[in-house]
Amino acid sequence: MSHDERPRILLVDDDEAITGALAAFLGRSGFDVRVAADGRAGLIEVERDVPDLIVCDVLMPHVDGREFVRRVRSRQLWLPIVLLTQVGESWERSAALDEGADDYLNKPFDPHELISRIRAVLRRTAQGVGSLRSAQRLRARDLVLDRTTRRAWLGDTELTLTPKAFTLLEFFLLHPQEVHSRDHLLATLWGFDFASSSRAVDHRIAELRRQLGDGAAEQPLIDTVQGTGYLFTAKVTAA
Protein backbone atom coordinates (compact mmCIF):
# COMPACT_ATOMS: atom_id res chain seq x y z
CA MET A 1 0.00 0.00 0.00
CA SER A 2 1.51 3.34 -0.98
CA HIS A 3 1.66 6.19 1.50
CA ASP A 4 -1.16 8.00 -0.30
CA GLU A 5 -3.59 5.17 0.30
CA ARG A 6 -3.37 5.37 4.08
CA PRO A 7 -6.89 6.26 5.28
CA ARG A 8 -6.93 9.80 6.66
CA ILE A 9 -8.41 10.10 10.15
CA LEU A 10 -9.27 13.25 12.08
CA LEU A 11 -9.10 12.65 15.84
CA VAL A 12 -11.09 15.20 17.88
CA ASP A 13 -10.65 15.16 21.68
CA ASP A 14 -9.77 17.82 24.24
CA ASP A 15 -7.60 15.54 26.39
CA GLU A 16 -4.00 15.61 25.19
CA ALA A 17 -3.11 12.50 27.18
CA ILE A 18 -5.62 10.63 25.01
CA THR A 19 -4.96 12.24 21.62
CA GLY A 20 -1.17 11.90 22.02
CA ALA A 21 -1.26 8.16 22.75
CA LEU A 22 -4.13 7.35 20.36
CA ALA A 23 -2.69 9.33 17.43
CA ALA A 24 0.60 7.46 17.75
CA PHE A 25 -1.20 4.12 17.98
CA LEU A 26 -3.46 4.88 14.99
CA GLY A 27 -0.40 6.07 13.04
CA ARG A 28 1.40 2.81 13.67
CA SER A 29 -1.76 0.90 12.68
CA GLY A 30 -1.63 2.32 9.17
CA PHE A 31 -3.67 5.52 9.38
CA ASP A 32 -2.76 9.08 8.54
CA VAL A 33 -3.84 11.01 11.66
CA ARG A 34 -4.59 14.68 12.31
CA VAL A 35 -5.63 15.92 15.76
CA ALA A 36 -8.08 18.70 16.73
CA ALA A 37 -8.44 19.85 20.34
CA ASP A 38 -12.24 20.41 20.31
CA GLY A 39 -15.28 20.51 18.05
CA ARG A 40 -14.60 24.06 16.84
CA ALA A 41 -11.02 23.23 15.84
CA GLY A 42 -12.37 19.99 14.34
CA LEU A 43 -14.78 21.90 12.08
CA ILE A 44 -11.92 24.12 10.87
CA GLU A 45 -9.86 21.00 10.07
CA VAL A 46 -12.80 19.47 8.18
CA GLU A 47 -13.21 22.70 6.17
CA ARG A 48 -9.53 22.69 5.34
CA ASP A 49 -9.43 19.08 4.15
CA VAL A 50 -12.19 16.46 4.47
CA PRO A 51 -10.73 13.26 6.01
CA ASP A 52 -11.87 9.68 5.29
CA LEU A 53 -13.17 9.23 8.83
CA ILE A 54 -13.57 11.19 12.07
CA VAL A 55 -13.10 9.83 15.60
CA CYS A 56 -14.68 12.29 18.01
CA ASP A 57 -15.16 12.64 21.76
CA VAL A 58 -18.59 13.69 23.07
CA LEU A 59 -17.80 15.92 26.05
CA MET A 60 -15.67 18.82 24.82
CA PRO A 61 -15.55 22.58 25.36
CA HIS A 62 -16.87 25.09 22.76
CA VAL A 63 -18.52 22.65 20.34
CA ASP A 64 -19.26 19.21 21.83
CA GLY A 65 -19.29 15.93 19.93
CA ARG A 66 -23.01 15.89 19.13
CA GLU A 67 -23.06 19.44 17.91
CA PHE A 68 -19.95 18.68 15.86
CA VAL A 69 -21.68 15.71 14.16
CA ARG A 70 -24.77 17.86 13.44
CA ARG A 71 -22.70 20.64 11.92
CA VAL A 72 -20.65 18.26 9.76
CA ARG A 73 -23.86 16.61 8.50
CA SER A 74 -25.51 19.98 7.89
CA ARG A 75 -22.70 20.66 5.41
CA GLN A 76 -23.86 17.59 3.46
CA LEU A 77 -20.71 15.71 4.42
CA TRP A 78 -21.52 12.01 4.85
CA LEU A 79 -18.06 10.79 5.83
CA PRO A 80 -18.13 8.18 8.64
CA ILE A 81 -17.91 9.40 12.25
CA VAL A 82 -17.12 7.24 15.30
CA LEU A 83 -18.17 8.83 18.61
CA LEU A 84 -16.36 8.20 21.88
CA THR A 85 -19.11 8.37 24.50
CA GLN A 86 -18.61 8.84 28.21
CA VAL A 87 -21.79 7.54 29.72
CA GLY A 88 -22.95 4.02 29.02
CA GLU A 89 -26.61 4.84 28.88
CA SER A 90 -28.14 3.29 25.83
CA TRP A 91 -30.39 6.27 25.09
CA GLU A 92 -27.34 8.46 24.79
CA ARG A 93 -25.92 5.93 22.37
CA SER A 94 -29.05 5.74 20.23
CA ALA A 95 -29.30 9.53 20.34
CA ALA A 96 -25.72 9.66 19.05
CA LEU A 97 -26.59 7.25 16.24
CA ASP A 98 -29.77 9.17 15.40
CA GLU A 99 -27.79 12.36 15.06
CA GLY A 100 -25.69 10.78 12.36
CA ALA A 101 -22.72 9.07 13.96
CA ASP A 102 -21.85 5.74 12.31
CA ASP A 103 -20.60 3.93 15.37
CA TYR A 104 -19.72 4.64 18.96
CA LEU A 105 -17.34 3.32 21.57
CA ASN A 106 -17.59 3.72 25.32
CA LYS A 107 -14.69 5.15 27.26
CA PRO A 108 -12.61 3.48 28.59
CA PHE A 109 -12.12 1.31 25.49
CA ASP A 110 -9.52 -1.12 24.21
CA PRO A 111 -7.55 0.71 21.45
CA HIS A 112 -7.62 -2.50 19.36
CA GLU A 113 -11.41 -2.35 19.48
CA LEU A 114 -11.26 1.20 18.08
CA ILE A 115 -9.09 0.00 15.19
CA SER A 116 -11.48 -2.83 14.34
CA ARG A 117 -14.49 -0.45 14.47
CA ILE A 118 -12.69 2.05 12.23
CA ARG A 119 -11.85 -0.68 9.68
CA ALA A 120 -15.45 -2.02 9.74
CA VAL A 121 -16.92 1.45 9.21
CA LEU A 122 -14.46 2.22 6.37
CA ARG A 123 -15.31 -1.12 4.73
CA ARG A 124 -19.06 -0.37 4.94
CA THR A 125 -18.49 3.09 3.49
CA ALA A 126 -16.46 1.63 0.60
CA GLN A 127 -19.41 -0.69 -0.15
CA GLY A 128 -21.73 2.30 -0.24
CA VAL A 129 -23.75 1.04 2.74
CA GLY A 130 -22.82 4.10 4.76
CA SER A 131 -25.49 6.16 3.01
CA LEU A 132 -28.19 4.04 4.70
CA ARG A 133 -27.35 5.98 7.87
CA SER A 134 -29.16 9.09 6.63
CA ALA A 135 -32.26 7.21 5.44
CA GLN A 136 -35.45 7.36 7.53
CA ARG A 137 -36.92 4.22 5.96
CA LEU A 138 -35.04 1.05 5.14
CA ARG A 139 -36.16 -1.84 2.96
CA ALA A 140 -34.89 -5.40 2.65
CA ARG A 141 -36.99 -7.67 0.38
CA ASP A 142 -40.57 -7.10 1.69
CA LEU A 143 -39.42 -5.88 5.10
CA VAL A 144 -39.76 -2.12 5.69
CA LEU A 145 -38.50 -0.38 8.80
CA ASP A 146 -39.31 3.22 9.74
CA ARG A 147 -36.60 4.60 11.98
CA THR A 148 -38.49 7.74 13.01
CA THR A 149 -41.72 6.12 14.16
CA ARG A 150 -39.91 2.92 15.21
CA ARG A 151 -42.36 0.66 13.36
CA ALA A 152 -41.71 -2.20 10.97
CA TRP A 153 -43.79 -4.07 8.40
CA LEU A 154 -43.43 -7.38 6.61
CA GLY A 155 -45.47 -6.91 3.41
CA ASP A 156 -48.77 -5.42 4.68
CA THR A 157 -48.46 -6.81 8.20
CA GLU A 158 -47.06 -4.60 10.93
CA LEU A 159 -44.63 -6.39 13.24
CA THR A 160 -45.09 -6.33 17.02
CA LEU A 161 -41.58 -5.98 18.42
CA THR A 162 -40.17 -5.28 21.85
CA PRO A 163 -37.98 -2.14 21.89
CA LYS A 164 -34.80 -4.23 22.03
CA ALA A 165 -35.84 -6.44 19.13
CA PHE A 166 -36.52 -3.30 17.09
CA THR A 167 -33.10 -1.88 17.97
CA LEU A 168 -31.49 -5.16 16.91
CA LEU A 169 -33.41 -5.25 13.62
CA GLU A 170 -32.45 -1.63 12.90
CA PHE A 171 -28.81 -2.48 13.61
CA PHE A 172 -28.98 -5.46 11.20
CA LEU A 173 -30.48 -3.29 8.45
CA LEU A 174 -27.78 -0.64 8.91
CA HIS A 175 -25.04 -3.29 8.88
CA PRO A 176 -26.26 -5.89 6.37
CA GLN A 177 -24.30 -8.84 5.01
CA GLU A 178 -21.76 -8.55 7.79
CA VAL A 179 -21.15 -11.13 10.54
CA HIS A 180 -21.76 -9.73 14.04
CA SER A 181 -20.52 -11.50 17.15
CA ARG A 182 -22.99 -12.08 20.00
CA ASP A 183 -20.90 -9.87 22.26
CA HIS A 184 -20.98 -6.97 19.81
CA LEU A 185 -24.75 -7.35 19.38
CA LEU A 186 -25.15 -7.46 23.14
CA ALA A 187 -23.28 -4.17 23.48
CA THR A 188 -25.55 -2.76 20.76
CA LEU A 189 -28.71 -3.81 22.58
CA TRP A 190 -27.61 -2.49 25.96
CA GLY A 191 -25.12 0.24 25.20
CA PHE A 192 -22.35 -1.86 26.75
CA ASP A 193 -21.61 -5.42 27.80
CA PHE A 194 -24.49 -5.62 30.15
CA ALA A 195 -25.52 -9.20 30.75
CA SER A 196 -23.30 -11.96 32.05
CA SER A 197 -24.19 -14.11 29.06
CA SER A 198 -25.15 -13.39 25.49
CA ARG A 199 -28.41 -15.33 25.91
CA ALA A 200 -30.16 -11.95 25.81
CA VAL A 201 -29.13 -11.72 22.14
CA ASP A 202 -30.46 -15.20 21.37
CA HIS A 203 -33.83 -14.27 22.94
CA ARG A 204 -34.16 -11.21 20.69
CA ILE A 205 -33.00 -13.17 17.61
CA ALA A 206 -35.68 -15.79 18.39
CA GLU A 207 -38.29 -13.01 18.70
CA LEU A 208 -37.19 -11.46 15.37
CA ARG A 209 -37.24 -14.82 13.60
CA ARG A 210 -40.76 -15.53 14.87
CA GLN A 211 -41.96 -12.13 13.66
CA LEU A 212 -40.13 -12.35 10.32
CA GLY A 213 -41.35 -15.91 9.68
CA ASP A 214 -37.73 -16.96 9.23
CA GLY A 215 -38.31 -20.50 10.53
CA ALA A 216 -40.27 -21.61 7.48
CA ALA A 217 -38.53 -19.33 4.97
CA GLU A 218 -36.37 -20.75 2.20
CA GLN A 219 -34.02 -17.79 2.49
CA PRO A 220 -34.11 -16.60 6.09
CA LEU A 221 -33.30 -12.94 6.66
CA ILE A 222 -31.17 -13.71 9.71
CA ASP A 223 -28.55 -16.44 9.45
CA THR A 224 -26.68 -18.08 12.30
CA VAL A 225 -22.94 -18.20 11.67
CA GLN A 226 -21.90 -21.21 13.72
CA GLY A 227 -19.60 -20.33 16.58
CA THR A 228 -19.42 -16.67 15.57
CA GLY A 229 -22.72 -14.84 15.63
CA TYR A 230 -25.42 -13.65 13.26
CA LEU A 231 -25.69 -12.21 9.77
CA PHE A 232 -28.45 -10.24 8.04
CA THR A 233 -28.50 -11.86 4.60
CA ALA A 234 -30.59 -9.56 2.39
CA LYS A 235 -29.55 -6.44 0.51
CA VAL A 236 -30.81 -3.23 2.13
CA THR A 237 -31.88 -0.04 0.34
CA ALA A 238 -33.26 3.28 1.47
CA ALA A 239 -37.05 3.19 0.97
Partner 1 sequence: MTAPAPRPAPDRAGIALGVGAIAPAALCSLTAGALLLAGDQHALAVEIALPGAVFAAGLILSAVPAAALVARRRRRRRDARDAAAHATALAAAVASATQDERENHRRFLARLDHELKNPLTAIRATAVAAQSAPETPAAAWQTIDHQTQKLSGLVRDLRKLAELETRPLERERVDVEALVAEAIEAVAQQHPAARARIGFTVTRVPWPVPQLDADLDLLSLAVDNVLGNAVKYSSSGPIEVRLREEGGWVVLDVADSGRGVPASDLPTVFDELARAQNARDVGGSGIGLTLVATILRRHGGDVSIRSVEASGTVVTLRLPAHT
Binding residues for partner 1, rule: CB under 8 A, are 87-90, 108, 162-164, 190-197, 199-200, 203
Q: Which is nearer to partner 1, 112 or 123 (CB)?
A: 112
User: In 80-227, which ranges are E strands?
Assistant: 81-85, 103-106, 137-140, 143-146, 151-154, 157-158, 179-181, 222-225
Q: Which is nearer to partner 1, 19 or 125 (CB)?
A: 19
Q: At 96, is the secondary structure helix, strand, or coil?
A: helix
Q: How far is the CB of 206 from partner 1 (least distance, A)?
A: 11
CB burial of residue 59 (10 Å; 0-12, 13-18, 19+): middle
Helix axes 199-212, 182-190, angle to 10 degrees: 90
Q: Which is nearer to partner 1, 40 or 203 (CB)?
A: 203
Sequence-separated (6 or more) residues with CB below 8 Å from residue 196:
none
Q: Which is nearer to partner 1, 153 or 192 (CB)?
A: 192
Count of Cβ atoms closer than 10 Å to residue 107 Cβ: 15
Beta bridge partners of 10: 34, 54
Sequence-separated (6 or more) residues with CB below 8 Å from residue 210:
none
Question: How much helix, strand and coil, in percent to the nearest 5, is found in the chain?
Answer: 45, 20, 35
Q: How far is the CB of 213 from partner 1 (least distance, A)?
A: 20
Q: How far is the CB of 55 from partner 1 (least distance, A)?
A: 19
Q: Which is nearer to partner 1, 1 or 17 (CB)?
A: 17
Q: How far is the CB of 40 from partner 1 (least distance, A)?
A: 29
Q: How far is the CB of 199 from partner 1 (least distance, A)?
A: 6
Q: How far is the CB of 35 from partner 1 (least distance, A)?
A: 22
Q: Which is nearer to partner 1, 79 or 185 (CB)?
A: 185
CA distance 134 to 223: 26
Sequence-separated (6 or more) residues with CB below 8 Å from residue 59:
65, 86
